[in-house]
């Protein structure tokens, strides 16, 4: 699929866990400003794909190129890359013993080398953006799951990422909290953030995605614009998957 201004490019990416071939010749290009939603059955390799994109997982073969540069193997270049391609997980992974403000500021001072005052100023602006300005001095346990996930999004944004990866960001949330997180993500999409989102929220896929990527058994089986994918899935696997979840 031709993409005008590639930001994330995977070419021929393969990975095994022992005998299990979890990523099979993955070719995927994500354009700058594009929102790609990745769906597929449990165990199809969606999380591994996300983690490969910022090298939380190594891969055995193939190329991963971020903004024209090959993904670094290790060291400072890798830390920089991880700051440029942020990740938001199902479990929010906040530091329990630090305030909300400190959670958002910490990596800014450590990785971006910002002064604490500067980091805190940016953190407060980001907390305002995700609707949590009033909660800066609380601890994570004092917040709801939806609020904690919005803190995690603010923390990822604080690194000025070129792209954000979301791995099932609403799967651990009570139903009434899902929308507040999806609304923040919708706003990010409208603001032009490049996003790769693994999710089961098909409403989000329909309204926010430029493209839906359907994975099964470690392969990208098909990819298409959401209206096309949902109304006219081409593969049996996709049809079967959609019949179970829609």
Choose among Mg ion, ligand ADP, none what residue 44 binds, the Cβ cut-off being 5 to 8 Å by kind.
Answer: ligand ADP
**Binding residues vs Mg ion (CB under 5 A):** 46-47
Is 237 one of the binding residues for ligand ADP (CB under 6 A)?
no
- Tell me whether residue 44 or residue 108 sits nearer to ligand ADP (CB atom): 44
Backbone angles phi, psi at 42, to 5 degrees: -55, 135
Choose among Mg ion, ligand ADP, none what residue 155 binds, the Cβ cut-off being 5 to 8 Å by kind.
Answer: none
Number of residues that bind ligand ADP (CB under 6 A): 11
Is 22 one of the binding residues for ligand ADP (CB under 6 A)?
yes
Under 8 Å between Cβ of 215 and 49: yes
Which position among 12, 17, 110, 192 is part of the footprint of ligand ADP (CB under 6 A)? 17
Q: Which of 194, 139, 135 is nearest to 164 (CA)?
A: 194
Choose among ligand ADP, Mg ion, none what residue 223 binds, the Cβ cut-off being 5 to 8 Å by kind.
Answer: none
- Tell me whether residue 46 or residue 82 sits nearer to ligand ADP (CB atom): 46
- Tell me whether residue 42 or residue 243 sits nearer to ligand ADP (CB atom): 42
Least distance between ligand ADP and beta carbon 167 (Å): 7
35-39 vs 194-198, strand pairing mode: parallel
Q: Please, where are the H alpha helices in 72-199?
A: 75-84, 100-110, 116-129, 145-157, 175-190
Contacts of 91 (CB under 8 A, 6+ apart): 172
Q: What SS3 class is residue 19? A: coil
Choose among ligand ADP, Mg ion, none what residue 20 binds, the Cβ cut-off being 5 to 8 Å by kind.
Answer: ligand ADP
User: d(Cα 34, Cα 201) in Å, to the nearest integer?
Assistant: 18
Taking the CA atoms of residue 136, residue 139, residue 144 and residue 149 in that order, the dihedral angle to the nearest 10 degrees is 70
User: d(Cα 46, Cα 39) in Å, to the nearest integer?
Assistant: 7
Choose among ligand ADP, Mg ion, none what residue 22 binds, the Cβ cut-off being 5 to 8 Å by kind.
Answer: ligand ADP
User: Using CB under 6 A, which residues numbered 33 to 92 contact ligand ADP?
Assistant: 40, 42-48
User: d(Cα 169, Cα 187) in Å, to the nearest integer?
Assistant: 15
Least distance between ligand ADP and beta carbon 44 (Å): 4
Q: Which residues are at the interface with ligand ADP (CB under 6 A)?
A: 17, 20, 22, 40, 42-48
């Amino acid at each position: 699929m031709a993409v005008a201004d590639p930001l994330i490019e995977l070419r021929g990416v393969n990975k095994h866990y022992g005998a299990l071939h979890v990523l099979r010749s993955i070719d995927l290009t994500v354009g700058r400003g594009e929102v790609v939603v990745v769906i597929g059955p449990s165990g199809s390799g969606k999380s591994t794909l996300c983690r490969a994109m910022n090298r939380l997982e190594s891969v055995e073969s193939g190329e991963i190129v971020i903004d024209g540069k090959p993904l670094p193997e290790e060291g400072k270049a890798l830390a920089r890359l991880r700051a440029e391609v942020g990740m938001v997980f199902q479990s929010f992974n906040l530091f329990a013993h630090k305030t909300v403000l400190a959670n958002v500021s910490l990596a800014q001072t450590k990785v971006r080398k910002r002064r604490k005052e500067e980091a805190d100023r940016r953190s407060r602006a980001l907390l305002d953006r995700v609707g949590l300005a009033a909660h800066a001095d609380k601890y994570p346990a004092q917040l709801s799951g939806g609020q904690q996930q919005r803190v995690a999004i603010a923390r990822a944004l604080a690194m000025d990422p070129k792209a954000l990866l979301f791995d099932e960001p609403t799967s651990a949330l009570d139903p009434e909290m899902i929308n507040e997180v999806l609304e923040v993500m919708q706003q990010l999409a409208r603001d032009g953030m490049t996003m790769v989102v693994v999710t089961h929220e098909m409403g989000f896929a329909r309204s926010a995605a430029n493209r839906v990527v359907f994975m099964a058994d470690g392969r990208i089986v098909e990819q298409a614009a959401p209206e096309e994918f949902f109304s006219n899935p081409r593969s049996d696997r996709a049809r079967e998957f959609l019949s179970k979840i829609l």
